[in-house]
Amino acid sequence: MAREPAARSGDIALELRKECDACALVNPELANRLTSIADVVEQIHKSINRFAAIEGMADFLALHKDFPFCWSARFNRLLGAFWMDALQGSDTKRKDALRRALRFLRDVYVAVYLLSKVSPGSVESWITQIKENPLLCDTNFHEFLDERAHFAALNGHTFAEAFAQMASYIRHCCTTVSAITQLRQMTPSEEYVSVRLPLPPDLAELWFIVNEEFSTAMTEIAEEVNRGTQTLAAGIQAALRVGPKVEDESKSTDTFYAAAFLEHLLRVANDDISRQAIDCYRSLADTGQWSSAESRATYILRYSKALLNYWRLLGDPLTRLEHATGLIGDALSL
């Protein structure tokens, strides 16, 4: 279809189905083959028509969800061929629609390029880029990167992780830039202003480290629990004594340090101790205390991440995973 203009005719699918009907009784195998080709041709035309109707990132994302082959380089070749047809044709509306959609496609490519080139540590540079390119903080663009990573992973492409990291990083940047911008826009005041900035993704993954002294102590206690020289309950109590206290938040920090210790323990534990650690991690979801509903939601996500890594060791993995799914659903509804 990319090479031959005649193959891109809108009547091809209909002609193929007529040929299919004509040979169905004589050569059913050929009829099935013609039907398959007609289906593919129709899908290509539908995808091109949907592309021409794009008005924003939501439409662009929906196109790729409904027609996964749009992720491939072949789709871009077909797009170029249909664009040439439009230029040589007399349908002005079709030409204008494709031109507008192609400009938007260019904008998406530019946004992805910026993600790969801007220095991670340059906050001022990100503030400038986001102001100049609003697409970078469009949630549909972030989901588009997620979907791109997922498609690449399913097909064994090496750049799957890169797109997943892009999605995670740009979400962090947009949240940070938004907070900084709001702070700069505030009128001068003698009162303190509370500003909450997200951790970078790599630091968020290592939340349980706290600091070098704490992590070293947790590792030592975890190894003792794994060797059986002290119980899991005793290990948690030891961890609580080590963790630095925050005034008026001792109960919630106790829950945090208990979870941090369990993360250290899971990294050195044998299978039996790992099962005990996961059970304890789970029970804290009901018995632990938090400073806010958001902090409990964060705990649920951390527990679920641990469960994803160790569910194979459990005797009832399906039940645990389904329960965790419910907990996550409740947490995300906050």
- How do the pLDDT tens digits run along the chain, 334 residues long? 777 777 777 788 888 888 888 887 888 888 888 888 888 888 888 999 999 999 999 999 999 999 998 998 888 888 888 899 889 888 899 999 999 999 999 999 988 888 877 665 566 777 778 878 889 989 999 999 999 999 888 888 888 888 888 888 888 888 877 777 777 776 666 566 565 656 666 667 788 888 888 899 999 999 999 999 999 999 999 998 988 776 555 677 889 999 999 999 999 999 999 999 999 999 998 888 888 888 888 899 999 999 999 999 999 999 999 999 998 888 876 5
- What is the structure's pLDDT at 275? 95
CA within 13 Å, CB half, 87? 7
Amino acid identity, position 125: S
Instruction: Report the 3 state secondary structure along 22-88.
Output: HHCCCCHHHHHHHHHHHHHHHHHHHHHHHHHCCCCHHHHHHHHHHCHHHHCHHHHHHHHHHHHHHHH
Distance CA(331)–CA(288), nearest Å, equals: 15
- What is the structure's pLDDT at 23? 83
pLDDT tens by residue, 35-47: 888 888 888 889 9
Distance CA(186)–CA(114), nearest Å, equals: 29
Distance CA(105)–CA(103), nearest Å, equals: 5
Does the pTM surpass 0.75? The reply is no
Structural contact between residues 8 and 81, judged by C-beta atoms closer than 8 angstroms: yes
- What is the structure's pLDDT at 93? 93
Q: 3-state DSSP call for residue 105?
A: helix
Amino acid identity, position 221: I
pLDDT tens by residue, 110-124: 888 888 776 655 667
Distance CA(128)–CA(141), nearest Å, equals: 18
The dihedral built from the CA positions of residue 69, 75, 79 and 81, taken in this order, carries a sign that is negative
Structural contact between residues 17 and 35, judged by C-beta atoms closer than 8 angstroms: yes
Q: Tokens 């995300």 sit at which residue? A: 332
- What is the structure's pLDDT at 250? 60
